[in-house]
Chain A
Amino acid sequence: MKKLTELCLYDAREGLLNKDFTSKELVLDHIAVMESSRSLNAFITETPEIAIKSAENSDSRLNKGTNRDLEGIPIGVKDMFCTKGVLTTASSKMLSNFIPPYESTVTNNLWNEGAILLGKLNNDEFAMGSSNETSFYGPVINPWKGNNNEQNLVPGGSSGGSSASVAANISLGALGTDTGGSIRQPASFTGTVGLKPTYGRCSRWGIIAFASSLDQAGPITRNVRDNAILLKNMCSHDPKDTTSSSKKIPNFEESIGNSVKGLKVGIPNEFFQEGMSNEIIDIWDKGKEWLKKSGAEIIDISLPNTKYALPCYYIIAPAEASSNLARYDGVRFGHSVNSSDINEMYRATRSEGFGDEVKRRIMIGTYVLSSGYYDAYYLKAQKVRSLITEDYNKVFNSVDVILTPSTPNSAFGLNEKSDDPLSMYLNDIFTVPVNLAGLPAISVPAGLDSNGLPLGLQLIGKPFEEETIYSFAKVIEDSANFKNIENQWWVQ
């Protein structure tokens, strides 16, 4: 029999229902792997006691037949989700002592369906980063390594702990948040499936805010079906979040295996970047071929404002962040430096509490909102954002999904880009427009590059049509026949 940690979420759920093993056995195996995989630095806080206690409760429910949809399934949660009574840091020194007295809506939904918290996952500080290197708790290491190369690679970011823990079989699934690609890019870098739902699908209540108009929670899993199962249990209409949608929540799992025959796939020519590697072009072509073979129609489309997406994003996201992060002032919670002068207290608290990347974005955001610059930057970016959204609205009159690469490259080396913010920001070039337009999108592993590293393809869907995305993603998954890492070099 396979080790329990090698099962995917769906199989583990079947096994529990069939009484092949207990939730406690499943959880204990995962705790053992979590402990032996500490070299990856995927977790900030491990919660084995909570997990074991929850597993015992799940076993009793499974025995009584009162089990719920995710009964007994251990998952990891990005440290951006507030978890009641469990340290929640946003990977920042600022919140290194913060234990929330409340539970985020998304995690609460999952616990109500029987899912079990294994621990809190590392991420870029306040979800700002594309490599998980900006964390106060140190970088996460990608379980994947290049062929014949010992160099440590980044797992992507900001949900790097989430992607690494799923790729390394530490958790059956993980929660991420995606503001500009923070689920899809790490999924692409680790050979996992990561979905950013439509803006408003998941409640943002209790998730530490980075950029409110872009933030969305989503699942990272080892396959498409697991992803759909997890998403269904995350969503809800939440009266506590005005931007959460009251649309009916479909059973996403049912769309897995639906035929894509006759559906139309748009290929945006603006996504061909100058200097794009042949390997990325090849994997994109493969994707087109697979979908064509499954009966979908491939159509060239144009999204003319794509080139403005990244600069637009790097105005709007920091602007919102500069305001969202103003509450970290050392007065009520979190890191605090004493001073007899209030301004000095703010200065010292925030200088010590925030890392460089967070400070950089607060400064950019403060600048673009300042009087005299607001119109030229923030207001203009908002207009561009409308144009980008308009681009997508138009093409979705003629196509059902859009297929693009997830990232312009595979996972890069630790410290390789950490001193070069611009090159780091370029990593999100394919994912950022989706957040600006509020659309759902997934990254599915499509193959390996010549260096043996995973590459993902991105499928972008119409608002609230995650089901169509899942149907297409399943076709790519089946065609790519992607295999997870075999050499578990990091286990100690």
Chain B
Amino acid sequence: MAYSEKVLDHYENPRNVGSFGKDDEGIATGMVGAPACGDVMKLQLKVGKDGVIEDAKFKTYGCGSAIASSSLVTEWVKGKTIDQALEIKNTQIAEELALPPVKIHCSILAEDAIKAAVADYKKKHGA
């Protein structure tokens, strides 16, 4: 499969790989996908008191496109409020990475990971 330059760049040099302590102050975790489907993404956001995302980390089990989609998302969410982060759409991710049609599901999963992490934040903060 031929990957775009941007996918290869994120795959070779993934940004913000790692984990925060799950129960640390201001940490929200979203885990989406399933091993049997070939993709699992874990996205963690570090949210300040003002509701702005200060930092983000990810881990992904999946193909090159899934790794690139989640790596890209960690870059995009930083500095955004949680509500602004929810505005990131899979179509923007797919466009930025020039994903082929068979890999669109990777961008959808990355969008779902943001939604799941924000939902976790809201649950913890009773918002």
Same complex for A and B? Answer: no
B interface residues, Cβ below 8 angstroms from A: none
A interface residues, Cβ below 8 angstroms from B: none
